[in-house]
Amino acid sequence: MDINEFRTAAKTAIDEIADYHENVSSRRVVSDVEPGYLRRLLPSSAPEDAEPFEAIRADVEDKIMPGITHWSSPGFMAFFPCSSSYPAAIAEMYSNALSGAHFNWICSPAVTELETIVLDWTAQALGLPECFTSGGSTGGGGVLHGSASEAILTVMVAARDKYVTARTAHLGDGDDKDDETWRLRSRLVAVGSAGAHSSTRKAARVLGVRFAAVPVREADGLAMTAASLAETLDELVARGLEPFYLTATLGTTDVCAVDDLVGIADVLAARAGSGSGSGSGSGSGRPDIFVHVDAAYAGSALLLPENQHLATPLARFHSFNFNPHKWMLTTFDCSATFVRSRADLIDALSVNPPYLRNQFSEGGLVTDYRDWQIPLGRRFRSLKLWFVLRSYGLAGLRAHIRNGVDMAEALESRLRSRPDLFAVFTPASFGLVSLRVRGRDEDEVNARSEEVYHAVNAAGSFYLTSTVVAGKFAIRVCLGVATIREDHVQGVFDALVTEAEAVCGSLPN
């Protein structure tokens, strides 16, 4: 493809992408193809000779689109939104044109410097404590990762090394220190609530450390409480284990619960220096437990002034992450991680072979984000966040977030108008509401709820997801997609009513 062919093909593609977004609501939300459908439609090997772009473009609609689930559809109410927007899409085009690995400042100074600036803007917009900005008092700052799972793995690596270093600081270099380091590693435990995202358990598995879950209760809104955390930590320490890391959550995956952040901070502060979970790092005491706050979806709601009180206790923790690619109109992937101390990441992750050295890095004059992440190479992710912040402004982004909040509250109100059919399992929170279908006992409620859930999804106009908490099956409805309006809320409510009436009528009351 030469430059003229590129100009023609790219303009055609932009028109088709615009048409797709304009008409996405007319498509079935969830693909209904059978597994292996695409292999039957494509040749068994790559073509020997070049094919015309028109043939490739035609195959996108004919062969690829049937296997796509349309995350930008207003009928997509599953999981959490995975945002896109026209400014972000245009930024991706520029980012692709300026392709590079961008691991050091010298690789492309603008890539590094824009990331630092945009993440400072974002921290300020969310009301984060100043310790998470690049010029803050604790030497912190922000970095863009690919996902919240990557962020958790990255900070858990830093937490492990920070903890073990502190616990062995009283030992001189040599075999004794090495032996104690490996003994400690065999006893390390990462902790998260039973409602924490599975990425904490997975990161622990990747690092070869144990994982322990803090129980949550429906009476507490399925949030982790300080008392439950303290009890879990005491049990772990009594077994001779070393809890070194905790994921606290602002907006859990199941129901968007917010853990008791203030209480958690108080519990950990009380344990400091006691030898029972936190301390100075001398031989008998334990270092502070590294606390990461996962706000992958709900963190975008901190743009709203009425939610920014939730950011205040974050100053007492070590790191915070949220995904602009979920609810902030920024194309996947774009996950913002903020740390109180960038040294925690750099000390654990910096490897400096000769081919990466340069006078700017060696002089300590610049940020090299390769030391803030597990991979070496990195994309120009900050460009799309910059485009979005400038194109919408904070006022426009707040309006978008409020729409999701309002739509969830509207659905909750409708559900409560039919107490004969539905029970609200968890009220609207950050654009998410969960429900169950009425029944005579838990078994019937579970069976009816699951049947309604599958029936609504099978119809194809809406895509919902479910969860099971303490043996209770619930239907989750998340209303954060940018195009959702009142008529879509009414539509999904009508679909739920239709299927619930059919199910409740087909089973004994």
Q: Which of 39-43, 131-135, 350-354 has the lowest mean pLDDT?
A: 350-354
Per-residue pLDDT tens over the stretch 316-335: 999 999 999 999 999 999 99
Residue type, 379: R
Q: How confident is the model at residue 263 (pLDDT cuts 50, 70, 90)?
A: very high
Locate the domains of the chain by residue range. Answer: 1-30+69-82+393-508, 140-276+284-339
How far, in whole angstroms, is CA 350 from its chain's centroid? 25
Residue 274 has pLDDT above 80, yes or no: no
Q: What pLDDT is stored for residue 351 in this prediction?
A: 87
> How far is Cα 247 from Cα 224, in angstroms, rounded to an integer?
10
Residue 361 has pLDDT above 80, yes or no: no
Contact yes or no for 67/38 (Cβ under 8 A): yes
Q: What pLDDT is stored for residue 284 in this prediction?
A: 44
Residue 282 has pLDDT above 50, yes or no: no
> How far is Cα 293 from Cα 259, in angstroms, rounded to an integer?
9
Buried b / exposed e over 56-84, threshold 16 CB at 10 Å, is eeeeeeeeeeeeeebbbbbbbbbbbbbbb
Of the chain, the end-to-end C-alpha distance in Å amounts to: 66
Could you tell me what percent of the chain has a pLDDT over 90?
85
Q: Which of 5-19, 272-286, 395-409, 414-428 has the lowest mean pLDDT?
A: 272-286
> CA torsion angle for 329, 333, 339, 344 (degrees, to 10)?
180
Cis ω before 294 (30° cut-off from 0): no
Per-residue pLDDT tens over the stretch 206-220: 999 999 999 999 999
Give mean pLDDT, residues 25-48: 94
Q: Does domain 1-30+69-82+393-508 have CATH number 3.40.1180.10?
A: no
Residue 240 has pLDDT above 90, yes or no: yes
Q: How confident is the model at residue 279 (pLDDT cuts 50, 70, 90)?
A: very low
Contact yes or no for 435/425 (Cβ under 8 A): yes
pTM: 0.93
Give mean pLDDT, residues 126-149: 96
Q: How confident is the model at residue 294 (pLDDT cuts 50, 70, 90)?
A: very high
140-276+284-339: CATH architecture: 3-Layer(aba) Sandwich (3.40)
**How is 154-166 classified by DSSP, letter by letter?**
HHHHHHHHHHHHH
Per-residue pLDDT tens over the stretch 121-137: 999 999 999 999 999 99
Q: What pLDDT is stored for residue 506 in this prediction?
A: 58
Q: How confident is the model at residue 273 (pLDDT cuts 50, 70, 90)?
A: low
Residue 275 has pLDDT above 70, yes or no: no
Contact yes or no for 58/51 (Cβ under 8 A): no
Q: How confident is the model at residue 356 (pLDDT cuts 50, 70, 90)?
A: confident
- H helices present in 197-273, as ranges: 198-207, 226-238, 261-271
Contact yes or no for 313/261 (Cβ under 8 A): yes
Q: Which two tokens mark 378? A: 């990195």
Burial class (CB in 10 A: 0-12, 13-18, 19+), 206: middle
Q: How confident is the model at residue 346 (pLDDT cuts 50, 70, 90)?
A: very high
- Mean pLDDT, all residues of the chain: 93
Q: What pLDDT is stored for residue 285 in this prediction?
A: 59
Residue type, 483: T
DSSP assigned state of 61: I
> How far is Cα 304 from Cα 288, in angstroms, rounded to an integer?
32
Per-residue pLDDT tens over the stretch 446-488: 999 999 999 999 999 999 999 999 899 999 999 999 999 999 9
